[in-house]
Every structure is written in C-alpha cells, then in structure tokens.
C-alpha cells in the first residue's frame, strides 16, 4: 500500500505541465455503513457464559446501517480542460449493526432480550480517483470515480443486551478475518470558497467471511459517505 501511495503522489506532482491548479483539502468524514451478501442479517442472538462473563454474537455481520466516522487528506489536480485526478488518504471507523433478540446463557433456553451488536472495522484508506469538474467558473461540481484500498487495522464485535429482569449481557470479540478490502467508489462534491461538501458510495469486493467452511459465508462492506472539507492549499 505504501508504494501505491508514493507512486500516486509522484504522478500528481510530476504532471505540472498539464495542470491548472492543485488543491489540498482536509476532510471530516462520516456516513452509514453495513454488510451485504447472503450472510448479512438484520438480527441474531448472543451466546453467553456466566463462567467467563463474556459471550459472542452468532452472526455479527449486520445488514443494518450504523454511523461511521473518519478524517482524511485529499490531493487533487484540476487540468486546463477541467479533468480532475488525485488521491485521498485517511482513517475510517466503519460500523454496522445487528439487533439482538435472544441470549443463550450457558446452554439455557432462549432468553428474550433487547439490544444490538456493532461491528467496528478500523482502516487506513487510500483512494485514487479521476473525474470531471462541471461549471468550473461559477459553482464547481466535481464528479469522480475511483477505488478504495483499505488496510484493515482491526475488526471487533461489541454487543450489549438486556433481558426483562434487567440482567445485562455483553460481548467484545476480535473478528478480523481479512487484512485488505478493495472497494470501487463514486463521489460528487461541491465547494464554496474554501469549504465544501461531498456525497459518495463504495462497495467492497472482499469477502469478510473468506476461509469459513460450512453453509453460506458471504459478507461484503458497503458505505454511503458524506462529509465536509476545507481547502488548505
């Protein structure tokens, strides 16, 4: 991944003869993320052990959206014919959610509960992109397509549930299965003076259940992004 970033930045800086200007922006990122695929579910159950005081969610790969956040730097070239290209590098905490309906406590019968499990996927994300700037002289609108190369730092399940008697059950479990996700991405943005906003969507091509055996094992990331930017250069 380090070589990809260095090559992309070098390409941008050594293309001065074709560029009209360079823009460097810092971005506060947010969005809604979830899992798709045959294994992604909106609800599941928790297995819990009183002896260890911990448990796990049977299927933590939630199909319900949860709020995500991040921060990034984005370097962009705008050519004389309004072609744009560049690269973004940032940190993201992507989260998905699944509802918890029951707890099996040390092999007991199902105990109805209310609660939810979040899957937190922390990544360092690199986003090369290219596109076109419309209405450049008045109110610029950039439409760009590219892909995310996500270096997955950690994947953790965190769940909380409560039964009718007020008993609480929690989970906190490592769920990292893959180290890299690759996501095609499309994004639209607009700027006013130094401030800007954007909307984007990306979907993962790497299966987070890769290597699992038995049954159907498919879970892929999907992210609807939005955020604000500030031009520093």
pLDDT in tens, 61-92: 999 999 999 999 999 999 999 999 999 999 99
What are the E-state strand segments in the chain? 19-36, 43-49, 54-57, 64-79, 83-105, 111-134, 141-163, 168-174, 180-192, 195-203, 220-231
Per the CB < 8 A criterion, the answer to whether 219 and 211 are in contact is no
pLDDT at res. 11? 52
pTM reported for the whole predicted model? 0.87
| pLDDT over 60 at 146, yes or no | yes
Residue 214 has pLDDT above 90, yes or no: no
User: Could you tell me which of 33, 34, 39, 36 has the C-alpha nearest to residue 212?
Assistant: 39
Instruction: Give buried/exposed letters for 219-233 (b at 16+ CB in 10 A, else e).
Output: bbbbbbbebebeeee
* Largest interatomic CA distance in the chain: 71
List of domains in the chain: 2-231 (2.40.160.20)
Euclidean distance between the first and the last CA atom of the chain, given in angstroms as a whole number: 25
Q: 16 exposed, middle or buried (CB, 10 Å; 0-12, 13-18, 19+)?
A: exposed
**Tens digit of each residue's pLDDT (9 = 90 or more) over 109-138:** 899 999 999 999 999 999 999 999 998 788
Task: Look at residues 133, 141, 13, 26 and name the one whose alpha carbon lies nearest to residue 74.
Answer: 26
Q: What backbone phi and psi angles, to 5 degrees, belong to 38?
A: -65, -20
Q: Which pair of structure tokens corresponds to residue 91?
A: 């940190």
DSSP tag of 7: H
Cβ(100)–Cβ(114) under 8 Å? yes
> Does residue 6 have a pLDDT over 60?
no
**Six-digit token string for 227:** 């955020």
Question: Cα(43)–Cα(98) distance, rounded to whole angstroms?
Answer: 5
Q: Does position 9 have pLDDT exceeding 90, yes or no?
A: no
């Amino acid at each position: 991944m380090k070589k990809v970033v260095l090559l992309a930045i070098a390409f941008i800086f050594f293309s001065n003869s074709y560029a009209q200007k360079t823009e460097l922006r810092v971005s506060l990122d947010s969005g809604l993320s979830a899992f798709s695929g045959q294994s992604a579910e909106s609800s599941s159950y928790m297995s819990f052990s009183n002896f260890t005081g911990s448990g796990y969610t049977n299927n933590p790969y939630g199909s319900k959206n949860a709020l995500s956040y991040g921060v990034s730097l984005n370097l962009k070239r705008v050519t004389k014919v309004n072609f744009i290209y560049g690269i973004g590098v940032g940190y993201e905490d992507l989260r998905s959610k699944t509802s918890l309906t029951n707890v099996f406590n040390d092999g007991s019968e199902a105990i109805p509960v209310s609660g939810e499990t979040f899957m937190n996927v922390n990544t360092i994300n690199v986003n090369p992109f290219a596109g076109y700037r419309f209405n450049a002289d008045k109110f610029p609108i950039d439409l760009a397509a590219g892909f995310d190369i996500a270096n997955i730092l950690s994947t953790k399940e965190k769940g909380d549930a409560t039964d009718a008697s007020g008993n609480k059950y929690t989970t906190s479990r490592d769920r990292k299965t893959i180290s890299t996700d690759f996501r095609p991405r499309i994004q639209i943005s607009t700027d006013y003076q130094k401030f800007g906003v954007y909307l984007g969507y990306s979907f993962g091509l790497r299966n987070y259940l890769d290597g699992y055996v038995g049954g159907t094992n498919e879970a892929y990331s999907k992210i609807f992004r939005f955020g604000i930017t500030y031009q520093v250069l």
